[in-house]
Amino acid sequence: MRFGVLQFPGSCDERDALQACERVGAARMLWHEDTDLSGIDAVVIPGGFSYGDYLRAGAIARFSPAMGAVAEFAAAGGPVLGICNGFQVLCEAGLLPGALLPNESVRFLCRQVELVVENANTPFTRACDPGERLSVPVKHMSGRYFAPDGMLEDLEAGGQVVLRYAPGHNPNGSVRDIAGVCNEDGNVMGLMPHPEHAVDPLTGSADGLRLFASPALQPAAA
Amino acid sequence: MKATVLIRPKEGILDPQGKAVERALPALGFSGVSAVRVGRMVELEVEDPSALPSLCEKLLANPLIEDYEIQPLPDQG
């Protein structure tokens, strides 16, 4: 299993993401100008402030050359995980449904939250049990998940709501406590919390590692 | 052509920035201000004005959460 961690100018969590991937497989960094994903089995788009968050978080990053390659990789069924800014980029790129709005509190949030695994049958959650709780930190300014009502119904019906904030843990006003969603095929997933910051008991929780361990459980991508 | 593009949070979407501004006003002695919404304004010059709507949909605004309005500006001879 070889992960590619896609770094944009302004990314800041790529080292932790790389380190998390290396705990369960091989990993290398990808630069935003790279268009060659050969040899990569799963792509991780890490958190940060790609292109300074200009205009809207993720709005500029979606036009980078690497994102064209990521879209093709995803269309071919390759697993793609977007964390925080990576989630925002995937939504802006139309690879995931919905959008991320500024936190209800208008404040930057940094705290540990509890998540509930709603769908344990995606490439990123199959190391988890349905209903399992994960303790993972959030740190973001625009993490309020939003989708119009009709889209929400489709997401719920299709099992695309993968992670929810546990009752009382919704930090940002996300609709229906949604913390992470996937695309219709389930191979592209995004979440606002940071599993890559929760991979060692030294930092309080190693629960995040389960999301990285999951892709390694599946047969290598064709 | 010169144009101004106004981008607003869609109606019905909570705008916490607007709320924060609204709550700050009474503290400064401005009363009777309500329904504050904060958006963005983009000024630009474009060779082909017919490209503007698509440019707005694809980049300047996110149509899922924002409305946009294109206002042509008179060219200053």
Nearest to A212 by CA among A26, A70, A62: A26
Phi, psi of B57 (to 5 degrees): -65, -35
3-state DSSP assignment of residue B50:
helix
Query: What CATH code is carried by the domain that includes residue B63?
Result: 3.30.1280.10
How many domains in chain B? Answer: 1
pLDDT digits (tens, 9 = 90+) for A124-151: 999 999 999 999 999 999 999 999 999 9
Cβ within 8 Å, pair B64-A55: no
Cβ within 8 Å, pair A146-B13: yes
CA distance B64 to B73: 27
Along the 77 residues of chain B, how does pLDDT read in single tens digits? 999 999 999 999 999 999 999 999 999 999 999 999 999 999 999 999 999 999 999 999 999 999 999 999 987 65
Average pLDDT, chain A: 95
C-beta neighbour count of B73 within 10 angstroms: 12
Catalytically active residues of A are: 84, 194, 196
Which residues constitute the domain of residue B31?
A: 2-73
B27 burial level (CB within 10 Å; 0-12, 13-18, 19+): exposed
pLDDT digits (tens, 9 = 90+) for A71-119: 999 999 999 999 999 999 999 999 999 999 999 999 999 999 999 999 9
User: Which of A53, A54, A56, A105 to probe the B interface (max B CBs under 10 A)?
Assistant: A56
The residue of chain B nearest to residue A100, with distances taken between CA atoms, is B65
Please give the pLDDT value at position B74: 84
**Widest CA span in chain A:** 44
The residue of chain A nearest to residue B60, with distances taken between CA atoms, is A55
Following DSSP, what letter does each residue of A36-80 receive, concatenated?
A: --TT-SEEEE--B-GGGG-SSTTTTGGGSHHHHHHHHHHHTT--E
CATH of A2-217, one of 3.40.50.880, 1.20.1090.10, 2.102.10.10, 3.40.50.450: 3.40.50.880
CA distance A53 to A113: 24
- Domain positions in chain A are 2-217
Closest CA of chain A from B23, distance in Å: 13
Please state at what angle helix A209-217 crosses helix A14-22, rounded to 10 degrees: 50
Say what the pTM is: 0.93
The yes-or-no verdict on residue A218 having pLDDT over 70 is no
